[in-house]
Each structure stands twice: as C-alpha cells, then as structure tokens.
Structure 1
Amino acid sequence: MQSSTSRYLAITVRYGLLVILAAAVIYPIVWVFLGSLKSQESFYTNPWGLPDQFHWEVYKIIFVDFHLQINVWNSLYISVISTLIIIMLSTMAAYGLIRLKWKGSKMVLGVILLGIMIPVHSTLIPIYLDLQAFNNYVDTRILLMLPYIAFGIPTSILILSGYYATISKDMEEAAVIDGSSIIGCFFKIIFPISMPAIATVAILSFIHSWNELLYALIFLRKTETQTLPVALLQFMGFYSTDWAQVLAAITVAMLPGVVIYMFLQNYIVQGITAGAVKG
C-alpha cells in the first residue's frame, strides 16, 4: 500500500513539474500571439490580459504595407538551400571519416570538429572583408549562405558521426559481397537508415539559418534581399513603436520553429542521443 502511494506521489510530482515547464514554454508564445491582436491602447493598458477585440488586420498590414512576404521568402530560400547543402556535404564527410578506415581519418575529424569551438560571430569582420572580393555577389543571398554552411558542417558531422558509429557493418559487408560500390552502400544503406540523425541536422541547420541576425544584418543591405530577422528591425520606431505590428511580425518569424519542433521533436532527441548508446 505504501509502495503504491509513493509511486502515485512520484508520478503526480513528475507530471506536475512537466505541466509547469510546458506552461513556462508555451505562455510566451501565446502572449506574443495575443499581443499582436491588441490595439495600441489595449496593449499599454492591459499588456497581460486577453484582447478586448481581435484586430486581425494587423497581419494584412505587415504583409501589404511592409511587404513582409519578400523577407519570409528570402529567409526560406536561404535556410532551405543552406540546409540541403549542409546535409549533402556533412553526410558524405561523416561517412568517409567514420565508416571508411583510412590513415589520418581521426585527425581530420578532430580538425573539423574544432570548428565547433569557434564563436560564430567572432569571424564576422574577417569573413566579410574576404568575401568583398566577390564583387558580383556582394549583398546577395548566395554570399550569406557561405558562413551558414561553413559553421553548420562541424556540428552536423558531430551528430552524424555519433549515429554512424552505432550502425552495424554487416549490411555493408553483405552489399559489398553482392557487388555494391562504396557510393552504392552509402546511398542504398547508410543514408536511408540514418534519417533520424539527418532530420536532426536538417532541423538544427534550418532553425539556425532562419533565426540568424547579425550576419544577415551586415551582409544584406538591400530591402529586397533582407531576411526576416533583419526585417523585424523596421517595425521598431525611433520615437514610437506599434507593438501589435512588432508582435505580429515576431509571430510569423517564430511559426516555422514552433511547427518543426512540435512535429519532429522525436527525431531531434533520437538523432542527438544515438551516439551516446555506444559502449
């Protein structure tokens, strides 16, 4: 009887803590969304309460008057292309470093993983000065993708190498006996069964590219090429700010991240923790 009571108490405490944690995470998101539907007067008089009236027209304003759809498209374009390139390069690099045994592979892996230790924005000025040599690509989305890809690859290789190390070599050996090449083993065996780790890499790379501000602020000065985080700055006035418009734009900016984590969180946990089970 005492054991049953203790177990029930433990479960109650556990779920109670989870509910509190969930509320702490969800409340800011809900507050931002509800704040975007308030009038300016309602926001200042009752910032923490529900809107007296739902002003949905604010979303029409930010897309029609501020042309936010251009910035959304720029962020989507840069994030998707950067993510695809990171996946392509990091999966093949991790396969060559982990699954193929060759002299110096561990040293090369260690050098690549040193990139994780470099603070991303500490390299902003030298990278910007170096890339100025490409005059035809200055202030373009292609130029911004280069640092995103460069800094995304080490972390991606770390995640993928941990996952690749847990995969048995029996399937590869059987495929080689049947006449399959190294490239065939990679695309037919390793790549399909590595989807949890690849999904993790894709999610983390996309979110980083989508949310990054400082590189985008320095590299992109034209309105038609700016990403969504940079565009959010235009809603902040020097003397006054329409907080409904600011919060509406923030809601649009955080929507992809919320949706991705909501539906693909299991892949993130699976991919990151896969390497930890290796003895």
Structure 2
Amino acid sequence: MSLNQFVKRTFLYGFLFLIAIVVLYPLAWVYMSAFKTQDDFFLHPWGIPRSFHLEGFRKVITEHHLHLNILNSAVISILTVGIVMLLATTEAFGLTRLKWKGSKFVLAFFLLGLLIPVHSTLIPIYISLQGLREYLDPRLVIVLPYAVFGLPTAIMILSGYFSTLPRELEESAVLDGSSIPGVFARIIIPISAPAMSTVAIFTFMGTWNELLFSLVFLIKSEYQTVPVAILQFMGLSTDWPKVLASISLTIAPSLVVYMFLQNKIIQGVTAGSVKG
C-alpha cells in the first residue's frame, strides 16, 4: 500500500468513525440513562450509570402498562403493512409489467401523493372518518389513513424494482401455460423479496413512530400507541429515567429489524435506480 493510499484510507476511516460516534452516542445515551435513578440522571446526565437500576422499566410496565401500548402499536403497524403490501405489489405490477394505455399517468398520479404533507390532511380525514369511528375500533379506523399515506412510497420502490426485472421471465411462464396472476404470485413476488422487505420495514417503522394521528384518533388510554403514551410521561416533574426506559423499549424492535435486514433495505432502495 502506497503512502497516498494509506493517508486516504486513514482519513476515510477516521471520518466514518466520527460519523458513527455522532449517530450512535445518542442511542447509547438513551439506554445508559434508562438504567439510572432520577438523582443519578441529574448529577451525571452524560456519563454512564454509577449503578444500574431497573426502576424506570418497572414503572412503565407495572404502573403505566406500556406493554399494552406496545401491543396496540404492533397491531396497527402490522395491519398497515399488510394492506400496503397487498395494494402496492398489485398496483406496481399492473402499472409496470402490464402494457395498457394510461399506465404512466396513473403511476404519476400515485406518486403525486409524495408531495402532499401528511399532517395537513389531519382535519379533513378526521371529519371524514368520524362516522366510521362510532362503529369500529379506533385502532382499525386509523389503519386506513396510515395505509393510504404509505402507498406512494411503496409504489415508488416496487415499481422501480419491477421495471428492472427481465420480461423474459414472465414471457416464458406464459408460454408454459401460466396465467397473469400465476406469473405474479409464482415469479414476480419470490424474486422481489429485497424490495418488498424494504417497503414492509419502511411502512412498519413509519406507522410505529407516528404521533399526531394517533394523538387525535386514539383518545382512550386502552387504544393509545407507544408515542402517545410516552408523550403523557412528560410534564413539569418529568421522571426522565422512566421516559428513557420507555423510549428504549420502543426503539428496540426497529433496531433489531434493521440490524438483521439492513442489506435487503439497501438492495431494495437502490435496485430501481439501475434502470433509467
């Protein structure tokens, strides 16, 4: 290795190391502070705990029943992912793999949804779904706007990925007697796992972390999601170890999923950029 290459590599690794510290330290701080007492938190806010305590975790589970809020978030997020995956895969397949007049216009219409500020539609959506909320569980009602706003991104990713797949795959399947639904189910879906994983993860994380719609739609405590529950912990005398313990429990699923599926996320996002 030449001196010039050594200097460049050292500079690159040093720069990446600094970025890693900037990104990871806040996360490490949340988990370290979750094991502190209130006094220890204010005396040593940025350091490691002098002794590890589970008081914050005990409070959020036994006193505030955060596990029920986690269950609500999980149910809402999983239902949203299911609806988005069902609609986005079929729509992206029909718009990119089937030749019909106006498909590009319809695709552009769906992608226009990316330009709409989600929370600017809160009031009209709340009024529109007011009658439905009287007959259905609010946790089911809120899935509808979540799924609608997740569709544009999902269609963008999947249509970009589907357009890179060689048409010979489905043509040979049709010659062998397969129908269009059969091509979709047995060929397109199995080879689109990276893009579908990306869509599922993005949709799940976006729904899991959403606050404003949940705050407005889910008024009763037994229906509330994790972000709403954490918001209620805040006040004039905030118990910060309790708040940070709840945050650490909340972000744990996203961290685990991303750690194991990060390669599929990157592969799914970048696949559509190959074909111009």
TM-score over 0.5 (shorter chain)? yes
Once the two structures are superposed, the pairs formed by residues 102-251 of structure 1 within 5 Å of their partners are 102-137=100-135, 140-237=138-235, 239-251=236-248
Task: Report the Cα distance in structure 2 between the residues aligned to 1:137 and 1:270, rounded to whole angstroms.
Answer: 42
Give how far 1:135 is off. 4.2
Task: Report the Cα distance in structure 2 between the residues aligned to 1:178 and 1:139, rounded to whole angstroms.
Answer: 47
TM-score by length of 1: 0.96
CA contact (8 A) 1:137 1:143 kept: no
178-187 or 32-41: bigger deviation: 32-41
Note if 1:273 corresponds to 2:270.
yes
**Residues 194-231 of structure 1: per-residue CA shift (max 9 Å, x gap):** 00000000010000000000000000001110000000
Ranges in structure 1 where 5+ consecutive residues have no aligned partner: none
TM-score by length of 2: 0.97
Q: 1:55 to 1:123 in 2, by over 3 A?
A: same
CA contact (8 A) 2:133 2:141 kept: no
**Residues 49-99 of structure 1: per-residue CA shift (max 9 Å, x gap):** 111110123212210111001100000000011101101110010000000
CA contact (8 A) 2:56 2:243 kept: no
**Residues 133-171 of structure 1: per-residue CA shift (max 9 Å, x gap):** 214346610111011000001110000010001000111
Ranges in structure 2 where 5+ consecutive residues have no aligned partner: none
Q: Which amino acid aligns with 1:250?
A: I
Give how far 1:269 is off. 1.1
Which stretches of structure 1, 4 residues or more, deviate above 4 A after TM superposition? none
Q: Percent identity?
A: 53
Q: Which amino acid aligns with 1:106?
A: K
Once the two structures are superposed, the pairs formed by residues 256-271 of structure 1 within 5 Å of their partners are 256-271=253-268
CA contact (8 A) 1:80 1:206 kept: yes
Task: Report the Cα distance in structure 2 between the residues aligned to 1:136 and 1:267, rounded to whole angstroms.
Answer: 41
CA contact (8 A) 1:139 1:221 kept: no
Task: Report the Cα distance in structure 2 between the residues aligned to 1:227 and 1:252, rounded to whole angstroms.
Answer: 13
CA contact (8 A) 1:86 1:149 kept: yes
**Residues 95-128 of structure 1: per-residue CA shift (max 9 Å, x gap):** 0000000011111111111111100000000000
Q: 1:146 to 1:38 in 2, by over 3 A?
A: same
Q: 1:182 to 1:146 in 2, by over 3 A?
A: same
CA contact (8 A) 1:139 1:220 kept: no
CA contact (8 A) 1:83 1:205 kept: yes
SS at match of 1:162: helix
Give how far 1:234 is off. 2.0
Task: Report the Cα distance in structure 2 between the residues aligned to 1:214 and 1:137, rounded to whole angstroms.
Answer: 22
CA contact (8 A) 2:37 2:55 kept: no
